[in-house]
Chains A and B, each alone.
Chain A
């Protein structure tokens, strides 16, 4: 008997067909990947298999039980981690974990082995409220909560979005351990390295099943979607770092931010030159977001100095705000406004004139090929589009520097590539780009990168320099090497 058997499933919301005649089966103990761009119907499929949705047509058997009629049996057997898994913000880490353990009829002690790899990283914060954790830490806790019981089937909807590469590797090692115990795993992911760790993958696109096969076959077959050719960056657009005319736009020395006795950012110093693409890497909770908040004037540093576009971050943060763009981790745009209205609002905030806004808006929409969607509400756009739009809005007023906080989290490879084309275009116009990311292939696109560990910068330089210095084949390995030295989890 197969663990999952789906035959001719269809599901529509109103006129939109989310799933169209999908059939596949997953064997017992298999690690099965589900991939595809945004809005392909992955989440609908997960919900359907978890009995949260009813299919319009077709049948789904989970562990031999019908997803419509034998709801109760299925719910007893599956574990599910939804894409926007959310914790109880006002409960502590431990309380969250305990609650979910009891919910599935087990205890933390019993399930500890299966979550050790991940939970041990956040265990020292047991008594901190979940709401006070950083984004990646929350995700780790959510993972622990989803895995603490031993289900026979595990549904994971993009479980590692926003999680740093090291933790992702550990997470997948853990999944391999589960597989050895005979647990069937169905997971969706935007990361290619994770896709490769599945035994078989199915690719969905706009509700249609495009193919099922071994990962390498699929990745090969749909190369243009998953492995877009590397972006060619014209050499002459590179800033002349060492030559004349190179001016630094960010100068930071001995910057510290402490919350009580905890030093989130612990004495960092670096400079970023004009027109540079600076990758600001680090594990979850290494202090990236806090550092960025100080540079953008959202937070006051505890000690140390910093200048951004020539202004002091301690006293002249309002002037800084005039000359920078910022795109936050969460959706930075107003979801209930249209594309055009969002552009107009932010352009207006930076004091642009009506006519200028109109002209530039039309040009931008043309460049992004958004003309047909200019009057759509932002909440109706797919994630990748939103992110591209948010970036374009953040550089609409031609700032000297733009800060991007994990701009491509959860975005599929093809869209990420388009996103980076936008970044290159901006950099070639002289805009400095300061970006954090968990995609190590993106790190390779940067002019220079720094890697933060435990609130300190443990390496800084061009990707080539770092690879040579640490004698590693790629940035991914450099990062893993450095991040594994971390002592603290936050």
Chain B
């Protein structure tokens, strides 16, 4: 019986003018475009310099800024106000003002104050930008001062720094490596969440659900027949993504691949059940879509996908205990980036399994054949 129902779902997906294309093109598009976009790296900060000094040293400083690949040097401005105007117009992000006797004071060994003003509407960009800029300025100013070091602090080998910090796992500091597991989560969420949700409401609106309800199909068979196709699609999409990650970015999974699939199945189970629950309670497609969208966005934002959960305030952090997305992101990053084995993610797997089976049970119960 199940076989026939699953066959029917596949036929319907295939007949749909839109879905097969969506299932193929969407992951490819996401994998090829999104890693470039989902990039918290701060790059191309536009700098303007107000040079009140016009000395050899100030010129050297300007050249140093020009040479840095973090900054795009836009030009010199005669006054601070003019530079600020450019910031207000959105043409520049950061201003460096060099005081009049900068070169003189530098040669005297008592460097004068430079002013950095950064547009901090985007806080991260503003602070990182000004930090980079002050490092450049600092190294230009740093005359060998008598250091009385007691401890030598190792610096992280960032693009700027030098020294002996030890960076684990993501050595090339590739943001894409960090984001690709997150993209897998987003794709599973989109395909396994939205499609089943719209599917049952669709049958309700077309009236065919009534016909199914008078047949002896057991509830769980019907639900399972709705879910299995989307799980298979999820696994298919996952495989495409893994191949693409390797082919396009040269990124491969550090840990056992089987674990990635296990996690994906669990997350797919959760989202498809969740979609069905919403679908069972909704009357129209629009309703189902909006409710689903609301939960998806909230779950995603609170999962640590974009920002670390530990930076959240306590009340928000508490929600991560029931957020399957959080467990998934944690676990898949451990496997994918850190190369962890099953032992490393056992808590997450158990939590995901628990939440997912709870939702699946709810999905079956909330689907009523008889009123």
Contact = CB atoms under 8 A, between A and B. Distances in A.
**Chain A complexes with chain B:** yes
Interface of A: 296-300, 317-319, 321-322, 324, 326, 328, 330-337, 341, 344-351, 377, 403
Given A330-B210, A349-B1, A321 B215 contact: yes
B216 A318 contact: yes
Contacts of A344: 4, 7
A330 B207 contact: yes
A333 B203 CA distance: 11
| Shortest beta-carbon contacts, A-B, top 3 | A348-B4, A330-B207, A326-B214
B206 interface: yes
B5 A335 contact: no
Q: Is the interface of B mostly helix, strand, loop or mixed?
A: helix
Nearest to A379: B15
Given A328-B207, A331-B207, A348-B1, A298 B216 contact: no
B217 interface: yes
Contacts of B1: 348-349, 351
A61 B325 CA distance: 64
Contacts of B211: 326, 328, 332-333
B200 to A, nearest CB: 14
Given A332-B211, A335-B206, A300 B12 contact: no
Contacts of B3: 348
A349 B207 contact: no
Contacts of B370: 297-300, 317
A348 B1 CA distance: 5
A298 B215 contact: no
B213 interface: yes
A336 B12 contact: yes
Interface of B: 1, 3-5, 7-8, 11-12, 15-16, 206-208, 210-218, 369-371
Q: Which of B11, B207, B212, B214 has the most CB of A within 10 A?
A: B214
A294 B214 CA distance: 11
B12 A346 contact: no
B210 A328 contact: yes
Given A331-B207, A341-B11, A296 B4 contact: no
A331 B5 CA distance: 18
Given A298-B210, A332-B208, A334-B208, A350 B216 contact: yes
Nearest to B13: A336
A377 B215 contact: no
A350 B3 CA distance: 12
A332 B207 CA distance: 7
A41 to B, nearest CB: 26
B11 A337 contact: yes
A346 B208 CA distance: 12
Nearest to B371: A299
A317 B5 CA distance: 21
B38 to A, nearest CB: 36
Contacts of B218: 318
A321 B222 CA distance: 15
A349 B371 contact: no
Contacts of A326: 211, 214-215
15 contacts: A298-B210, A299-B371, A328-B207, A328-B211, A330-B206, A331-B206, A331-B207, A333-B208, A341-B8, A344-B4, A345-B5, A348-B7, A349-B1, A349-B216, A377-B15
A349 B213 CA distance: 11
Q: Which of B15, B218, B369, B370 has the most CB of A within 10 A?
A: B370
A396 B7 CA distance: 19
A325 to B, nearest CB: 8
B371 A300 contact: yes
Nearest to A328: B210
A360 to B, nearest CB: 15
A376 B208 CA distance: 19
Contacts of A324: 214
Contacts of B212: 349
A298 B208 contact: no
Nearest to A342: B8
A308 B4 CA distance: 27
Contacts of B206: 330-331, 335
A300 B206 CA distance: 23
A251 to B, nearest CB: 19
A341 B3 CA distance: 13
B5 to A, nearest CB: 7
Given A298-B213, A330-B210, A337 B12 contact: yes
Nearest to A393: B211
A66 B1 CA distance: 58
Contacts of B215: 321, 326, 346, 349-350
A197 B218 CA distance: 50
Given A298-B371, A328-B207, A334 B8 contact: yes
A352 B356 CA distance: 33
Contacts of A333: 208, 211
A349 B210 contact: no
